[in-house]
Structure 1
Amino acid sequence: MSLQVKDIKKSFGKGQSETTVLKGINFEVNDGEFVILNGASGSGKTTLLTILGGLLSQNSGEILYNGAPLYDSDKKASELRLNEIGFIFQSSHLVPYLKVKAQLTTIGREAGLSKKDASQRAETLLKQIGLSHRLNVFPHMLSGGEKQRVAIMRALMNNPKIILADEPTASLDAERATEVIEMIKNQIQSKKMIGIMITHDKRLFEYADRVIELDNGVIVNS
């Protein structure tokens, strides 16, 4: 069981204005494995993660999950992101008119959980991240760090097969960042998920099974 990235290439623009961002990316991540993508700004990390999440299409190459195309004609990217992929952005992107608990339960209900099961799972996840006392407040009442913790738990709500995270701890202090990464890694290992995270924080590298370094659109170290 694995995610295989095969010769992914991506360019923007045409003709003389064409910029090649990814120049043939190849790697594989197995179930239960937590991988960090690292590299300087402009190396292609975010473009690659966005393609893996189905938010952007590659020019060529394949993304395979368990030997089959992750995005094929029978699988809508939106459905995959709801049911099988948890995406954590650098910004929390919480729904402003939903209270904290509802940020999670809404996702659970959309994916088919009963009202009771969605409620119980949301409360369990928010307790794990230290937000039991914030279940019934709106996003504008949360600190930046609290918003990001809610967003991280929202991504884990449906036990996704793949977790994709773009600088998820950027708004957290060092202690809270470590707690969050430990929890994400534990979820990935215990639930046999595939985890791929972008971070510049080298203090977090020790939590990864591997660090894949990109430079100018190619992998230079894995």
Structure 2
Amino acid sequence: MSLQVKDIKKSFGKGQSETPVLKGIHFEVNEGEFVILNGASGSGKTTLLTILGGLLSQSSGEILYNDKPLFDGEQKASELRLNEIGFIFQSSHLVPYLKVKAQLTTIGKEAGMSKKEADNRAETLLKQIGLEHRLNVFPHMLSGGEKQRVAIMRALMNNPKIILADEPTASLDAERATDVIEMVKDQIQSKKMIGIMITHDKRLFEYADKVIELDDGVITNA
């Protein structure tokens, strides 16, 4: 299985005000691989990741998953994000009125897990990330780093096929960031997922199977 990105282009605006952001992006990620996107601010990384997650449409080009369009109209992008794609944003975006464990179990139950299955998986993931003592607290009682760790586990809750992450360790200290990325990479390899992450932290590059450098909307190290 693989994710193929073929000649993705994206522009904003029209006519004389049209601004090209992505100018023909090509790459492929196979199952079990963890890829890092790197580049200066404005290079197109977040736009590309947002397109891969179905939150934004490309102007042209195609994204293939197992040789079929990832978003082909047969399945809504929202359903794919629930069942196939785990998205980790730079901010945690936790639901303020749900306790930590419920942040995960709600996702699991929406995707068809039984209450017992969802409870067990949520507790296992939160224990892996060192938050088993925070299961029953609300987000406002967590530190910024704790919130982000919950968000990362929430993205893994349904064993997605594709993990997309935008600077997921920005709010974590160096040791915790390394622990989190090691765990995420282990999940990607063992569950044969496809992982794509934006980060500027070069200390994390060693965990990637491939680092893709973007500059002004093009890949510079292909």
Q: AA paired with 1:53?
A: G
Percent identical residues: 90
Rounded Cα–Cα distance in structure 1 between residues aligned with 2:214 and 2:221: 7
**Partner Cα distance (2:19, 2:143) in 1:** 38
**Structure 1 runs, 4 residues or longer, greater than 3 Å off:** none
Q: In 1, distance between residues paired with 2:159 and 2:74?
A: 22
- Where 1:104 maps in the other structure, the secondary structure is helix
1:5 partner SS = strand
Q: Distance in 2 between matches of 1:132 and 1:221?
A: 41
For 1:75 and 1:215, locate their aligned partners in 2 and report how far apart those are by CA, in whole Å. 33
Which structure 2 residues correspond to residues 1-222 of structure 1 after superposition, within 5 A?
1-222=1-222
Distance 1:76 1:16 in 2: 33
C-alpha separation in 1, matches of 2:86 and 2:183:
14
Q: Which runs of 5+ in 1 are unaligned?
A: none
Distance 1:130 1:36 in 2: 25
- What TM-score do you get using the length of structure 2 for normalisation? 1.00
SS in 2 for 1:91: coil
Q: Distance in 1 between matches of 2:3 and 2:75?
A: 16
CA distance in 2 between counterparts of 1:35 and 1:189 reads: 12
Distance in 2, Cα, partners of 1:159 & 1:23: 32
Q: For 1:157 and 1:27, how far apart are their aligned partners in 2?
A: 27
Provide the secondary structure at the position in 2 that maps to 1:195.
strand
Superposition RMSD in Å: 0.4
Q: Structure 2: where are the runs of 5+ without partners? A: none
Q: Distance in 1 between matches of 2:71 and 2:209?
A: 26
Q: CA deviation at 1:17?
A: 1.0
Matched AA of 1:201: D
Q: What's the CA shift string for 1:162-201, capped at 9, x where partnerless? A: 0000000000000000000000000000000000000000
CA separation in 1, counterparts of 2:155 and 2:40? 26
- Superposed displacement of residue 15, structure 1: 1.2
2:220 match: secondary structure: strand
Q: How far off its partner does 1:135 sit?
A: 0.1
C-alpha distance in structure 2 between counterparts of 1:93 and 1:123, whole Å? 20
